[in-house]
Chain A
Amino acid sequence: MPLKRVIPCLDVDAGRVVKGTNFVGLRDAGDPVELAERYDAEGADELVFLDITASHERRETIVELARRTADNVFIPFTIGGGIRSVEDAQAVLDAGADKVSVNSAALERPELLTELADQFGSQCVVIAIDAKRDADDPPSASPACAAPAGWFGGTWGVYVKGGRERVPGRDAVSWAREAVERGAGEVLLTSMDRDGTNDGYDLELTRAVAEAVPVPVIASGGAGELSHLSEAITAGGADAVLCASIFHYGRHTVAEAKERLAADGIPVRR
């Protein structure tokens, strides 16, 4: 089996990293490329850039980001945000990105996934899903707590606009399955309940999606301790873990994350 991956995620607005960083020794802590080089040196397996620029020059800014990253960083990286067409994807892949991630554009027009897979191959296409547990379905007390008979772990809605808007008629597990059938080669699954909490990944959500699709699942949202990374892989069934603040704020390094995963018996690149 391929090694399990640790993937730092950088939110980028108009070419600048949004979340602050506490790294010492960076020339420019807001420069996504300098941060990416740092993560590469620490042993990151891949990088994800999520662009949240809301301007007309959006495509130009993500292409420029992809180009500058490819010039300086020699690990695979994904660009998400603002990819709405084959042309958008072509531009960032030509610039040196390895994959594109799509979210709301695929919900509005699911055929986009097939168009991207036909043109570039499924290995280039990541479906990003922002999921939130449905309110009438309270989470169990702990992942170790046995579920009652006949209860299969709940349902999760699919959200857009940073978790503010639920997409009618979609649930995360069936959307993941459909997206993969349409051509996505990987699922980037974010728990909006856990995102920003440091309480750990939503293991039930991760497990439910990982069991539903035949492609790798990247767990995202909630990592606060290194033990959370191991849990996402062992209990959640994830193939990779996405982390933002745990690294950005200097709480842990990627190298420490790798050490912890290895100590927990998980095969990683070191």
Chain B
Amino acid sequence: MSDARVLILDYGMGNLRSVEKALEHVGARAAIGSDPDEVRSADGLILPGVGAFPRAMERIRATGLDRLIAERAAAGTPILGICLGLQLLFERSEELGGAAGLGLLPGAVTRLEAPGLKVPNIGWAPVRWERESPLVAGIPSETPFYLVHSFVARPAAADRLGTAEYGERFACAAERGNVFGVQFHPEKSSAAGLALLANFAGICAKAPAAA
């Protein structure tokens, strides 16, 4: 249980409800929103997302969430990107002609290199932790998580938190300071995913007090 208040950022893309219910399931206080006061008062932020990168960035900019997210990241608020939300944290993506991202994590998002395999990659894959992190504390390396994706982020080596194998060994979790991202869906990854979300809520509870 943690008293952290986690806000799931709503910019009109993706299924936010499952993330909210999974957080509630592990005892976190979760809400969905994008109002600046709500964003500033949250102990932690989750950036979800399903769909195409360029359209998601358009919507994030149109709602002013890009500046708010940058502000909170600088203030030390823990931020967790999920699936497309992870990709948006990076500098740019080549999807659909390319677009700039939020730039909180150095690196680009490119197509999954899986010659001869079906893309999108859909299903459960064992995830190997590349280092220790409070986000994955208590979750054994090579625990399977559920993925649905065609693109992958290419983080700096120091930011690679987890990798999985599909044609290539790719980064599926990244961490830099208070900024976290996972390509898999913790809200659909059963007990392991719930454990990761509980860890994130715990990180939020310990983070510097929100504005």
Contact = CB atoms under 8 A, between A and B. Distances in A.
A121 B15 CA distance: 14
Interface stretch (B32-40, B67-75, B91-99, B117-125): B117-125
A49 B97 CA distance: 38
A195 B159 CA distance: 50
Q: Which of A5, A72, A123 has the most C-beta atoms of chain B within 10 angstroms of its own C-beta?
A: A123
A74 B194 contact: yes
A74 B192 CA distance: 10
B101 interface: no
B126 to A, nearest CB: 8
Interface in B178-196: 185, 187-191, 193-194
B166 interface: yes
Interface string B106-128: 00000000000110111111100
A74 B166 CA distance: 23
B76 interface: no
B144 interface: yes
Interface string A64-105: 000100111011100000000000000001111010000000
A186 B25 CA distance: 30
Contacts of B200: none
**Interface residue tally of chain B, by bracket?**
20 to 34
A45 interface: yes
B123 A75 contact: no
Contacts of B15: 93-94, 96
B146 interface: yes
Contact of B123 (A2, A70, A122): A2
A66 to B, nearest CB: 10
A63 to B, nearest CB: 12
Q: Which 8 A-B pairs have the closest CB atoms?
A: A2-B123, A269-B144, A3-B124, A269-B124, A71-B21, A76-B188, A96-B18, A75-B190
Q: Is the interface of A mostly helix, strand, loop or mixed?
A: loop
Contacts of B61: none
Contacts of A2: 121-125, 147, 166
Contacts of B125: 2-3
B17 interface: yes
B28 interface: no
12 contacts: A2-B125, A3-B123, A5-B123, A40-B190, A74-B18, A76-B146, A76-B185, A96-B17, A96-B18, A185-B122, A216-B118, A239-B123
B148 interface: yes
Interface in B152-195: 166, 185, 187-191, 193-194
A125 to B, nearest CB: 12
Contacts of A5: 123-124
Contacts of B146: 75-76
A1 interface: yes
Nearest to A45: B124
B187 A74 contact: yes
Q: Which of A70, A74, A185 has the most C-beta atoms of chain B within 10 angstroms of its own C-beta?
A: A74
Given A3-B124, A3-B125, A74-B188, A214 B18 contact: no
A215 interface: yes
Contacts of A216: 118, 122-123
Nearest to A73: B190
Given A5-B124, A93-B15, 4 more contacts: A45-B123, A72-B25, A75-B188, A75-B189
B167 to A, nearest CB: 9
Contacts of B8: none
B31 interface: no
B22 interface: yes
A165 B125 CA distance: 40
Contacts of B120: 121-123, 185
Contact of A70 (B18, B117, B124, B144): B18
